[in-house]
Amino acid sequence: MVCGEGLTIKFAAKQLKINYSSARRVISEMKKSESLLYDSEDNDMENNVNNTTVEKKRGAPSKINEDRLHIIDNIVFSNSTITLKEICNFLKKNYNIEVFTSTVDRALKTLKITLKTSYKLLNRVNSPDTIEQKSVYASHFLGNAPKDRKKIIFIDESGFNLHLRRSKARSKIGERHQTCNGDVFQDFAKELFSIVSNSNELHGSWIIMDNAKIHKKDGIKDICRHFRCSLVYLCLYSFMLNPVENIFSKINCFVRSLLSTACENGKLVNIIRKIVLVVTRDDLAGYFNYIMGNANKAILKILYS
């Protein structure tokens, strides 16, 4: 009644015989459910029965479509402490996209990105010890890594189910629910190293991963040695030196758009396998060049921002 007939909340509440606060709450929920992230309204207006064209007001802020969601996702991935206003300014300056902060806020909610305490992550990333360790690693990487990029293999994990499904699940005390543990990773490593060793082009490959405990489980080094691969660990807080982080960011964005509710694991796995194909060769080249640039900055001990 309020939205369709233009009645006041107070009058509509009286007509429906509910109290004023309940009516306000209903209207609030309705407004939240309305999405301003896509251009469906514009498309409907342009394709009405009379085929009349409704010209969009000049200067009106753009809405957020799927491509722009991916852009915002990458912006936040690159700078997790960025503000809504800074995101708007970045979009306008670099992509000529003009949006309100409220639109960006709704986009972040669609991406399941929330504002949490940062725990001074940048302070850790840019601490003297971390800067020194990154400089040593970068020097080793740029000076000794195989010149053939196919022989540089980065590894990382991403918990798709943790982002796309309920935030809580049951598990035994002391164990995380459905996470990648050491045994699972060891099986994965055996299969990966076996594939690498069976390819003559990949002999002498570098296997690069972070310092997670599951990567250091007894047997991983033995497996790597058996298949004649060089195992290299990234130093702490050096996610900017692993291109897989960027790949997962793009994949996660597309998977989120398809899954907004809980689903069976089999369906999720199938969707992920299909979505992986959205990562192009140009993407991979760009991500690798990005970490190469960061490696050169690390050697010079330039602060990460």
Condensed to tens digits (0 to 9), the pLDDT of residues 225-257 reads: 777 788 899 998 899 999 998 888 888 777 766
User: Containing domain of residue 94, as a range?
Assistant: 62-116
| Residue 21 in domain | no
Task: Looking at the structure, tell me whether residues 159 and 237 fall in a common domain.
Answer: yes
DSSP per residue over 107-166, as a string?
HHHHTT------TTHHHHHTSHHHHHHHHHHHHHHHHHS-SSGGGEEE-----HHHHHS-
| Predicted pLDDT at 169 | 45
Same domain, 281 and 145: yes
For residues 161 and 238, state if they share a domain: yes
The model's confidence at residue 140, banded by pLDDT at 50, 70 and 90, is very high
- Does residue 272 form part of some domain? yes
- Residue 198 in any domain: the answer is no
For the chain, percent of residues with pLDDT exceeding 70: 66
Q: Tell me the per-residue pLDDT of 176-235, one tens digit each, with 9 for 90 and over.
A: 444 566 778 888 888 887 887 777 777 788 999 988 888 887 778 887 777 778 889 999
Distance CA 121, CA 58 (A): 41
Question: 299 with 142: CB under 8 angstroms?
Answer: yes
- Residue 255: name the closest of 110, 135, 119, 126 by CA: 110
Residue 219 is assigned to a structural domain of this protein: no
68, 155: one domain = no
144 and 283 in a common domain: yes
Does residue 131 belong to any structural domain of this protein?
yes
CB contact at 8 A, 180 and 157 = yes
Reported as type and span, the H/E element at residue 60 is none
- The answer to whether residue 145 scores a pLDDT higher than 90 is yes
pLDDT at 288: 94
Checking DSSP bridges between strand 206-209 and strand 152-154, what pairing results, if any?
parallel
Considering the domain architecture, whether residues 275 and 247 belong to the same structural domain is answered as yes
Q: Which of 46-55, 109-118, 202-211 holds the top average pLDDT?
A: 202-211
Asked if the structure places residue 251 within a domain, the reply is yes
Domain-ending residue, one of 99, 116, 133: 116
Residue that is written with structure tokens 């970068």 in the block: 138
Residue 77 lies in a domain: yes
Is residue 261 located within the same domain as residue 127? yes
Please tell me whether residues 140 and 286 are part of one structural domain. Answer: yes
Mean residue pLDDT across the chain: 74
